[in-house]
Chains A and B, each alone.
Chain A
Amino acid sequence: MKLDSKIPGGPLAEKWSKHKFNVKLVNPANKRKYDIIVVGTGLAGASAAASFGELGYNVKAFCFQDSPRRAHSIAAQGGINAAKNYQNDGDSVFRLFYDTIKGGDYRSREGNVYRLAEVSVDIIDQCVAQGVPFAREYGGLLANRSFGGAQVSRTFYAKGQTGQQLLLGAYSALSRQVSNGKVKLHAREEMIDLVMKDGKAVGIITRNLVTGKIESHSAHAVVLATGGYGNVFFLSTNAMGSNVTAAWRAHKKGALFANPCFTQIHPTCIPVSGDHQSKLTLMSESLRNDGRVWVPKSKEDAEKIRKGELKPTDLPEDKRDYYLEERYPSFGNLVPRDVASRNAKNVCDEGRGVAKTGLAVYLDFADAIKRDSRKVIESKYGNLFDMYQQITGENPYETPMMIYPAVHYTMGGLWVDYNLMTNIPGLYAIGEANFSDHGANRLGASALMQGLADGYFVIPYTIGDYLATLPYEKVSSDDEVFKQAENDIEEKIQKLLSIKGEKTVDDFHKALGHIMWEYCGMSRNEEGLKKAKQEIKKLKEEFWQNVNVIGGNDELNQSLEKANRVADFLELGELMIDDALDRSESCGGHFREESQTEEGEAKRKDDEFSYVSAWEYQGENAEEVLHKEDLVFENVKLTQRSYK
């Protein structure tokens, strides 16, 4: 299989304009003759569905939550990047492009990333026009802050609730199209299969989560905006319902899955407190603007702190190790996420971690409060501090916060070309569900940017290029291909319900998460990965013999929903391991212990691994086949990433 990224030729800055001119258009009067399915209503899905509706297409939008406004984009706190250069500090489209491609450790496509930087400025205009209440200065203009991996202030924010406000903006645009009759909303309805005919995507099968009814929906094109798969680790900052099912079932129908092992571990999360833990809570990276990260210099002091014999506030300055400021003087506490996470792991591995578990480092605001006053810090981060206090019972204004890395975002996803189309004609993937823009590591405040860029400003153009080639007549949902897919799904569900084993779905999910975190988490090595692969195989086998799913199909059944999702996570986990094994270099969030510099930083092997890994499904229990898309760099020079 030859992978064609369809990146247009010509100078970097002209590619997108040129492409927009070259794509086929659908006449305004003909748009109403085409139907589009959008799965997922987060930033990418809601913005795409709303924009399609505005253009005149007929849209069906699906989400598994009770309302499109619940999608997990809502939880993004810190902000959204845009190359507006409102601060006059030297930002530009090229600089945002450069920071993003460097931050991704040179494992993303130049063309895609440049386009992302280019449309970033339009996103801010769009959101302000929708009534998104971004933070402002006293003069009435927009405020900015800085974020990890950048030396300019280009991040727009709405308190610590930027994702919420942007999502509600997109949700309001979507709601307007619902009221105009252009979008039909299907809440509490989960996609469980992709339907294809003659090699093209022609619709989806869904399960109505309230009635259990299996339904067929046909369309001219299907857009997956179903988010990431961080919940394969059981504990992550994702929402409880976030899952890989839609993307994975599409993968099993032939869509290539790219860079599955590229997982982002976010450095600033609230540490795990016990076995009962169901999810991890992120504290926005923006906190690193003012918070200073440290651990005690000596193991002995750390030990005393862990035992509660010593208070962190009583430890004198000269016995503290501000290790990020020390090691990376120019970026300090604002190094990219992968670097910050790995360093936290290292100091904890050395026995200098704090908290009872020893798996935490301090994020200290004492200096910032002294410098700017408590009031200023409160206005910037008030809600985050409250949240921290609520969860931990500790007051971060008085004692330093404790943080530890946690799985947060997945850079991998369905392989897409420049049009955001997968290798299956008519099937698109946008937002976190695709792989394209963040390489091996995503910079802070770039997920919101990418979700909205894809949904508002990329796919509305590129989808026309495909639709224009299709007849108005679509494949009917009564077609044989839909009946067949419905039958397969019903069979699978019946199988899950009939096992009636000894273990709960969560037992399996937790076991899987443990394997993934242990061997495919912050650092990975060949031996561990090979072991993990065997363990996952065993676990998967046991799942299909010993899981206990209570209740029936024709009702609201949360055990069944979970079982369906965990079944897919088990298969995905194995592919992530395969991918991590194949990529024996370190890059970004993927740290292979065998490949590091003398100083312990990630060491890329550009000669061997400058490619996108795109995996092709081969059937139950068969090894997947790897296809490589070579990455071509014409505008940036590949260097060892340095934040020193």
Chain B
Amino acid sequence: MRITLKVWRQKNTQDKGNFKTYKLDNISPDMSFLEMFDVLNEQLVRQGEDPVHFDHDCREGICGMCSLYINGKPHGPKQTTTCQLHMRSFNDGDTITVEPWRATAFPVLKDLVVDRTSFDRVIQAGGYISINTGGVPDANEIPIPKKDADKAMDAAACIGCGACVAACKNASAMLFVSAKISQFSLLPQGQTERKTRAEKMIAQMDSEGFGACTNTGACSAECPKEISLTNIARMNREYFTAKVGSDNV
């Protein structure tokens, strides 16, 4: 395959950045999108040019480190992670535009690499159950209906990649935050801190500069792990319940 790439190049956070065009021949349809970038980078290094920087690690669709906004869609045309996107999803001769995630809360560090530590800070605000190691009850002491455990698992499948934020016109992080809040609100272990968790995580989310949700559902439609929009509804319910009965007046 022959591919033309229009890639966002930006030296660092301060740099304004611009698109650069690269041409690639001999791309195999079996390559993953990132392997196609490996080919480009090998080519650039041989020419003495700085390779295109992008985040990636596991390359099996689970670590959530890869990003890339491809032809106007986070992770490209398929509902999967960029590392699991293959060139067979494109046509010979295509021009492909590649940008970083665009969001105030995800500043660009270099080229296609963005800073997503805002997600970590949201989790630090309350995305946990406050127990210490050891001294916990036997794992089978509290039965959990399979239905609830399965729903919690579906929410917990979030990989924290940030595609939901990139897909949203408001750069809202509601899907990400609601997935964690849902997981714990569905499980008996999460009940004790249920209210404070919702309040704290949402407050942190707002302070990071993520936008509001206008229910267009682009986040869920682009989510590589198909996290459902229902989680946002559940989070709103959790939030209202928490606020109505809040201890933090």
Indicate whether B216 reaches chain A with its CB closer than 8 angstroms: no
Q: Which residues of B contact A390 (CB under 8 A)?
A: 61, 78, 80, 84, 86
Q: Which residues of A contact B120 (CB under 8 A)?
A: 67-69, 175, 178, 185, 187
Q: Determine if B189 and A75 form an interchain contact, defined as CB atoms under 8 angstroms apart.
A: no
Residue of B nearest to A504 (CB): B45
Q: Determine if B133 and A138 form an interchain contact, defined as CB atoms under 8 angstroms apart.
A: no
Q: Determine if A172 and B153 form an interchain contact, defined as CB atoms under 8 angstroms apart.
A: no
Complex Cα gap A387–B59 (Å): 12
Q: Determine if B63 and A133 form an interchain contact, defined as CB atoms under 8 angstroms apart.
A: no
Q: Determine if A67 and B139 form an interchain contact, defined as CB atoms under 8 angstroms apart.
A: no
Q: Which residues of A contact B46 (CB under 8 A)?
A: 504, 548
Which of B133, B139, B190 has most A Cβ within 10 Å?
A: B133
Indicate whether A130 reaches chain B with its CB closer than 8 angstroms: yes
Q: Determine if A273 and B124 form an interchain contact, defined as CB atoms under 8 angstroms apart.
A: no
Q: Determine if A276 and B35 form an interchain contact, defined as CB atoms under 8 angstroms apart.
A: yes
Indicate whether B3 reaches chain A with its CB closer than 8 angstroms: no
Indicate whether A50 reaches chain B with its CB closer than 8 angstroms: yes
Q: Which A81-126 residues sit within 8 Å CB-CB of chain B?
A: 84, 86, 122, 124-126
Q: Mark B133-147, 1 if CB is under 8 A from A, else 0.
A: 110111110111110
Q: With A70-B65, A171-B123, A550-B45 in contact, is A176–B58 under 8 Å at CB?
A: no
Q: Determine if A175 and B124 form an interchain contact, defined as CB atoms under 8 angstroms apart.
A: yes
Indicate whether A66 reaches chain B with its CB closer than 8 angstroms: yes
Q: Determine if B57 and A240 form an interchain contact, defined as CB atoms under 8 angstroms apart.
A: yes
Which of A140, A161, A241, A551 has most B Cβ within 10 Å?
A: A140
Q: Determine if B28 and A70 form an interchain contact, defined as CB atoms under 8 angstroms apart.
A: no
Minimum distance in angstroms from B138 CB to a CB of chain A: 6
Among A65, A237, A278, A457, contact of B38 (Cβ-Cβ < 8 Å): A278
Secondary structure at the B interface, as helix, strand, loop or mixed, is loop
Q: Determine if A54 and B136 form an interchain contact, defined as CB atoms under 8 angstroms apart.
A: no
Q: Which residues of B contact A74 (CB under 8 A)?
A: 58, 62-63
Q: Mark B116-159, 1 if CB is under 8 A from A, else 0.
A: 11011001110111111110111110111110011011001101
Complex Cα gap A234–B19 (Å): 32
Q: Determine if A67 and B50 form an interchain contact, defined as CB atoms under 8 angstroms apart.
A: no
Q: With A70-B64, A128-B189, A240-B56 in contact, is A178–B124 under 8 Å at CB?
A: yes
Indicate whether A431 reaches chain B with its CB closer than 8 angstroms: no
Q: Determine if A133 and B149 form an interchain contact, defined as CB atoms under 8 angstroms apart.
A: yes
Q: Mark A156-181, 1 if CB is under 8 A from B, else 0.
A: 00110101110010011101101100
Complex Cα gap A67–B161 (Å): 10
Q: Mark A59-76, 1 if CB is under 8 A from B, else 0.
A: 000000111111110110
Complex Cα gap A140–B187 (Å): 12
Q: Determine if B130 and A129 form an interchain contact, defined as CB atoms under 8 angstroms apart.
A: no
Q: Which residues of A contact B245 (CB under 8 A)?
A: none
Q: Which residues of B contact A163 (CB under 8 A)?
A: 62
Indicate whether A131 reaches chain B with its CB closer than 8 angstroms: yes
Q: Which residues of A contact B183 (CB under 8 A)?
A: 131, 133
Complex Cα gap A127–B46 (Å): 48
Q: Which residues of A contact B55 (CB under 8 A)?
A: 66
Indicate whether A229 reaches chain B with its CB closer than 8 angstroms: no
Q: Determine if A66 and B139 form an interchain contact, defined as CB atoms under 8 angstroms apart.
A: no
Indicate whether A281 reaches chain B with its CB closer than 8 angstroms: yes
Minimum distance in angstroms from B148 CB to a CB of chain A: 9
Q: Which residues of A contact B51 (CB under 8 A)?
A: 550, 558-559
Residue of A nearest to B67 (CB): A66
Among A65, A71, A274, A456, contact of B133 (Cβ-Cβ < 8 Å): A456
Complex Cα gap A51–B60 (Å): 29
| 15 extra interface residue pairs, beta carbon distance < 8 Å, beyond A128-B189, A278-B32, A278-B35 | A50-B133, A66-B65, A75-B60, A129-B137, A131-B187, A133-B152, A133-B153, A172-B128, A185-B120, A276-B38, A387-B60, A387-B84, A550-B44, A556-B12, A559-B45
In the assembled complex, 26 residue pairs joining A and B whose CB atoms fall closer than 8 Å, in A order, are A47-B133, A54-B132, A65-B63, A66-B55, A69-B160, A71-B63, A126-B136, A128-B142, A129-B129, A131-B152, A131-B183, A133-B153, A133-B183, A140-B144, A158-B153, A165-B153, A172-B123, A187-B117, A276-B31, A387-B60, A390-B84, A393-B86, A456-B133, A457-B134, A506-B38, A548-B48
Residues of B that sit less than 8 Å from A by CB: 11-12, 28, 30-32, 34-35, 38-39, 42, 44-46, 48-51, 53, 55-65, 78, 80, 84, 86, 88, 109-110, 113, 115-117, 119-120, 123-125, 127-134, 136-140, 142-146, 149-150, 152-153, 156-157, 159-160, 183-184, 187, 189-190
Residues of A that sit less than 8 Å from B by CB: 47, 50-51, 54, 65-72, 74-75, 84, 86, 122, 124-142, 158-159, 161, 163-165, 168, 171-173, 175-176, 178-179, 185, 187, 210, 237, 239-241, 273-274, 276-279, 281-282, 387, 390-391, 393, 456-457, 460, 504, 506, 548, 550-551, 555-556, 558-559
